[in-house]
Structure 1
Amino acid sequence: MLDTMTFTKVLGGVCGSLLVFLLGKWAAESLYHVGGGHGDEVAAYVIETGESEAAEPEEEVDFATLLASADAGAGEKVFGKCRACHKVEAGANATGPYLHGVVGRQIGAVDGFNYSGALPESEAWTPENLNAFLENPKGWAPGTSMAFNGLAKPEDRANLIVYLDALDG
């Protein structure tokens, strides 16, 4: 049953299938790749994104004004992002130091917490320092072990600072 002619037929069938596959691939490439080479294609239509126009500068809002109109209730919601690493109870350190009484407290002054040494300990946590730190922790204190990327919205930072300030009152 297995003779030379059977092997020849099987080999011919495999080679024929391969040729049909390669011919189909070549036909599909010539159909869907119009143009001579890469980068020669022209878009059928262009969507304007406005990037060529100069972007209007955002109006810079004074942080003191934001702080004066901040809402502690909204700050409590923003604190949800901090809750994974920080506690608000006095003396209850977690991954990060407790935040009860943080506004006005010396930087790096929580007893029993091992700081990374990147924070300037000679200063206090003023609302301005907290704002700068919360905006970009790694930029304000390079080398800090705080992994949080920061709060982009100045309103969120102001609300959070007002909430933290209200905790010790």
Structure 2
Amino acid sequence: MFDTMTFTKIAASLCGALLVLLLGKWAAEELYHVDGHGDQAYVIDTGSDDTAEETVEVAFADVFAAADASAGQRIFRQCSACHKLEDGENAVGPHLYAVVGREVGSTGYGSYSGALNEVADVWTPENLNSFLENPRGWAPGTSMGYNGLRDIEDRANLIAYLDSIGG
């Protein structure tokens, strides 16, 4: 029923159809492709400039001075999965009792990464702010798996709450 010549004709017709399709696509692109659109004929004024607005960098000390410890207590719920507030009670991470002003690595917690000791000696509010913003960026190689708190007010509130615990 089917011989070699029939299969050859079928294959040739498929290749021919593909060739016609590709040549048609190429011809259509050449006919309808426009390199440039030229100048805009009419500009609609939206009232805003296209210039980027400057972001005002707020000093952490100013934000920390106005921090709310009770708001920090709500933020600490994220930390409580790995950290405890009771003195000497370590969990996945070291306890955070009296962490503000404490020397880095002084809790007796056995799994401190050496990366923290290389970047800071004492957990000052500024060091905690930098660490909580981006743990892996501030202390490359740290074993803390948290991505960080992006909002400076949240970090200040959390540090104010931690400062009120055991301080």
Q: Shared fold (TM-score greater than 0.5)?
A: yes
Is the alpha carbon distance of 1:118 and 1:25 closer, same or farther for their aligned partners in structure 2, counting shifts above 3 Å?
A: same
Is the alpha carbon distance of 1:109 and 1:159 closer, same or farther for their aligned partners in structure 2, counting shifts above 3 Å?
A: same
Quick check: 1:164 aligned with 2:158? no
Provide structure 2 residue ranges, at least 5 long, that are not aligned to the other structure. 41-48
1:63-142, aligned counterparts within 5 Å? 63-120=60-117, 123-142=121-140
Post-superposition Cα deviations, 1:14-42, rounded to whole Å, max 9, x if no partner, equal 2112211221133124324655xxxx843
* TM-score normalised over the length of structure 2: 0.72
CA distance in structure 2 between the aligned counterparts of 1:140 and 1:76, rounded to whole angstroms: 24
1:46-65, aligned counterparts within 5 Å? 50=50, 53=51, 55-65=52-62
Is the alpha carbon distance of 1:100 and 1:15 closer, same or farther for their aligned partners in structure 2, counting shifts above 3 Å?
A: same
CA distance in structure 1 between the aligned counterparts of 2:7 and 2:35, rounded to whole angstroms: 43
Quick check: 1:147 aligned with 2:145? yes
- Does structure 2 conserve the Cα–Cα contact (< 8 Å) formed by 1:107 and 1:123? yes
Instruction: Give the total of aligned pairs.
Output: 157
- Does structure 2 conserve the Cα–Cα contact (< 8 Å) formed by 1:103 and 1:165? yes
- Does structure 2 conserve the Cα–Cα contact (< 8 Å) formed by 1:93 and 1:113? no
Instruction: Give the letter aligned to residue 156 of structure 2.
Output: A
Provide structure 1 residue ranges, at least 5 long, that are not aligned to the other structure. none
CA distance in structure 2 between the aligned counterparts of 1:43 and 1:119, rounded to whole angstroms: 55
Is the alpha carbon distance of 1:43 and 1:161 closer, same or farther for their aligned partners in structure 2, counting shifts above 3 Å?
A: farther
CA RMSD of aligned residues (A): 3.2
Is the alpha carbon distance of 1:156 and 1:44 closer, same or farther for their aligned partners in structure 2, counting shifts above 3 Å?
A: farther
CA distance in structure 2 between the aligned counterparts of 1:81 and 1:45, rounded to whole angstroms: 53
Cα distance, 1:86 vs structure 2 = 2.3
Report the counterpart of residue 43 of structure 2 in structure 1. none
CA distance in structure 1 between the aligned counterparts of 2:99 and 2:109, rounded to whole angstroms: 15
Is the alpha carbon distance of 1:78 and 1:7 closer, same or farther for their aligned partners in structure 2, counting shifts above 3 Å?
A: same
Instruction: Give the letter aligned to residue 150 of structure 1.
Output: G
Cα distance, 1:56 vs structure 2 = 4.3
Cα distance, 1:61 vs structure 2 = 2.0
Is the alpha carbon distance of 1:97 and 1:25 closer, same or farther for their aligned partners in structure 2, counting shifts above 3 Å?
A: same
Instruction: Give the letter aligned to residue 96 of structure 1.
Output: G
* TM-score normalised over the length of structure 1: 0.71
Is the alpha carbon distance of 1:154 and 1:26 closer, same or farther for their aligned partners in structure 2, counting shifts above 3 Å?
A: same
Post-superposition Cα deviations, 1:123-166, rounded to whole Å, max 9, x if no partner, equal 32221221122223334334322233432221121011112223
- 2:116 match: secondary structure: coil
Cα distance, 1:110 vs structure 2 = 0.8
